[in-house]
Every structure is written in structure tokens, then in C-alpha cells.
Amino acid sequence: MSSRSLVAATVAAALATGVAACGSSSNDNSSSTTANGASSSSGSSVKATLNGAGSTFAAPIYQQVGSDLKGQGLTINYQGVGSGAGVSQFSAGTVDFAGSDPALTADDKATIKKGEPIQIPFALGAITASYNLNGVKSGLKLDGATLAKIYLGTIKTWDDPAIKALNGGMTIPSTKITVVHRSDSSGTTKGFTGFLAAYSPEWKSGPGVDKDIKWPTGTGAKGNDGVAAAVKQTDGAIGYVEQAYALQNGFTFADVKNKSGAFVAPTLESTSAAADGIDIPTDLGVSTIDSPNAKAYPIVSQTFAITYADPCKAGMDATKAKGLKAMMSYLLGAGQDTIKKLSYAPIPDSLKAKDQAAVDAMQCNGAAIGS
């Protein structure tokens, strides 16, 4: 199956099921890949059910990883409810792990009372400026300042002089722009608004940067899937949509001007380039928005899997703790191939090494978790 077809199939499944990847407890003797990425002649000995919630951006990944691991004893149930809701559910103790696109803030960490959290960035994804504009193919050029004016509502039609100035010689219809944004608390929103704020003082001092903001204009939709559906149904619409969802819907999307002044299309290569040379904080809370790399697409988000450094101290049993460690290791090992097949970008080796060290250090009541 082609990468695009796999993306379409996986995202379609995620939208239809709410991303519940139910595993099997069977343990056959056929050759397989264990949850830590090593080849094995039998299924994994980990028999655990893991419940997670959060990022819709990463929902197709969790859907596919659940399918990958279901023959090895792990059941992964994941609900794509948005990064903010996922972190809230994790803080409340109703899920075992959270998916979040922005790193945990100090305020987030203060709400997590059951133990020390770890956040593992394991994939990168382009946030596309997708549009539904009759007669205009992918590659319309947009920059941060112009996108901000669109989302502020000061640019109202597609043939506005600011857009035409970026696209000399292109015939652009006078269609009214319909702005679509997220209605839920979303890491994709935080990434997108962070990019707008970098190029628009009015945006920075106005709506600002966060997982949910007061939007100046437009219509809200829940999740990447909701924004994608609204864009698809509305002539003249524009919405910020993770690339896997844009591909699944056959969207056209913009080439966006990066920090170096180049207009760059969202591809796997340009997405990966956004992580080259970034600073890696001690808590692994990286950010790939507005990368200085000349080859990078500028609106790239990382996504994190968040759980506890010692899940047992947070009230989980040893089996579940072992399952969490196995899932995390898989995301950093064989799961990186799954990530690429779904049109997300894998993380660079420099970040992967620090991620794996954090996963290897996971404990159960102060003792190392066995593999």
C-alpha cells in the first residue's frame, strides 16, 4: 500500500472510530517485532491495556501503533479529544498517558499531582494552511503576516492585494474567505498561533498564543478532523490542518514562507528539517515552530507521549507500567517506520537518544522496569 493510501485508510479509521485501537491477548509463535523493536519468534509477554487521550494531530499514529502491537499483548485505547483535554484527563488520573503537541507548561505540571511526568517527543508533523479554492492548485504562496491578517479578519477575499503580491501572475478568484479554526483546546492551535505571533505584532498582542484562544473571526470545528470536514465542505475556506488529514481529504495547501525567506511546501523532508539543530531542554520539551533551517517548512509541530516516570507510584500496577514502557520504546524504535508511512516525520537521532534514556529510566516503585 502506498504512503498516501495508508494515511487515508488510517485517518479514515481514526475518524470513524474515535481512535480506539483494541489489542489481542493472543501469543502465537510466528516471527514478530517486539514492543522494544527487536525481532522475536513469539509475541511480547506484556499483557496490558493502556488508555490514552489527547492530540488529534497524533491520533492516526496511535491508531496504527495499536494495530501494530495488538498481537503482542498490548491493548491501546486512545481518544482524540485535543491536547488540552488529554493533559486534563491525565492530570485527573482517568487515562494512563496523554498525547500533547505542545510541551507541558509549568502550570500543566502543577496539575499533575500523582507523580513526576515524563514527556517523550516522538514524531513531527506539518501544520498545513489548507484551502478550498476553485481553480487554484496547491502551492499558493502565503507568509506569516498575511496568514495573520486572514485570521484577524482584515483580509476578507482571496484576491486581496496582499495575497496577489505574494503570487505574481497567478489568477486568483475574488471568492470570500471563510476562516476555519479549532473549537477545542488544541496543540495544533498553539503551534499555528505561535507562528502567526512571530510575524504579526497585532496577533501577538491580541489573540495571542495558546491551545485555545478568543478568535477574532471564523467558524470553529472540533479536532483536526472537524476542521478538515469544514474546509472540504466550504468553497473559499481556509483551515490549519495536520498534513495526514490534509492528504486524506485531498486538500490543496499553501507553500509558506520560512524564517530564511523561502516559500516551502509541507513535505516529509521539509518537516524533518525543522528539527535539525534545535535546542533540547532537560525535560525534552522541544519546539519546532518557525525553524531557522533554510530548508524547513515553518509550521511544524512535534507531538509528545506523556506518562509518569514511575507509573506504579501513580497507582498503576507493574504490568501496566511495563506496558507503558514497551509502548514508549516502540514509538522510538520500529514505530518510527510507522510514523514515516503515515506522512509524519521521524525525530532526529540526537533527540531519539535522549528520549530513549528517559524511557529506560522509567521505574515501578523505585525499581527498574524489566523489558
Structure confidence by residue, pLDDT tens digits, 105-130: 999 999 999 999 999 999 999 999 99
Distance CA 222, CA 199 (A): 26
| Per-residue cell: 292 | 531557522
| Confidence tier at 231 by pLDDT (50, 70, 90) | very high
Res 236 pLDDT > 50: yes
pLDDT the model gives residue 20: 44
Q: Which of 45, 61, 105, 75 lies closest to 303 in space, CA to CA?
A: 61
pLDDT the model gives residue 45: 63
pLDDT the model gives residue 245: 87
For the chain, the maximum distance between any two Cα atoms, rounded to a whole number of angstroms, is: 66
pTM of the model: 0.83
| Confidence tier at 371 by pLDDT (50, 70, 90) | low
Res 54 pLDDT > 90: yes
Distance CA 364, CA 349 (A): 27
Lowest-confidence pick of 20-34, 105-119, 256-270: 20-34
Distance CA 188, CA 119 (A): 17
Res 4 pLDDT > 50: no
Evaluated on CA atoms 136, 138, 141, 144, the torsion sign reads: positive
Query: How does pLDDT run across 139-165, given as a tens digit for each residue?
Result: 999 999 999 999 999 999 999 999 999
pLDDT the model gives residue 315: 96
Query: How does pLDDT run across 301-344, given as a tens digit for each residue?
Result: 999 999 999 999 999 999 999 999 999 999 999 999 999 999 89
Q: Which of 55, 18, 125, 78 lies closest to 327 in space, CA to CA?
A: 78
In the block, cell 522509567 appears at 362
Distance set, CA 245 to CA 11, 40, 307 (Å): 7, 34, 26
Q: Which of 270, 344, 250, 317 lies closest to 47 in space, CA to CA?
A: 317
pLDDT the model gives residue 35: 40
pLDDT the model gives residue 19: 43
- DSSP-H helix ranges across the chain: 3-17, 59-69, 83-92, 106-111, 144-152, 161-166, 187-199, 201-205, 223-233, 243-248, 268-273, 318-332, 335-341, 349-360
pLDDT the model gives residue 244: 83
pLDDT the model gives residue 247: 86
Distance CA 248, CA 229 (A): 11
3-state helix, strand, coil in the chain (%, to 5): 35, 20, 40
Residues in contact with 174: Cβ distance below 8 Å, sequence separation at least 6, in sequence order? 157, 158, 159
| % of residues, the chain, pLDDT over 90 | 81
| Confidence tier at 248 by pLDDT (50, 70, 90) | confident
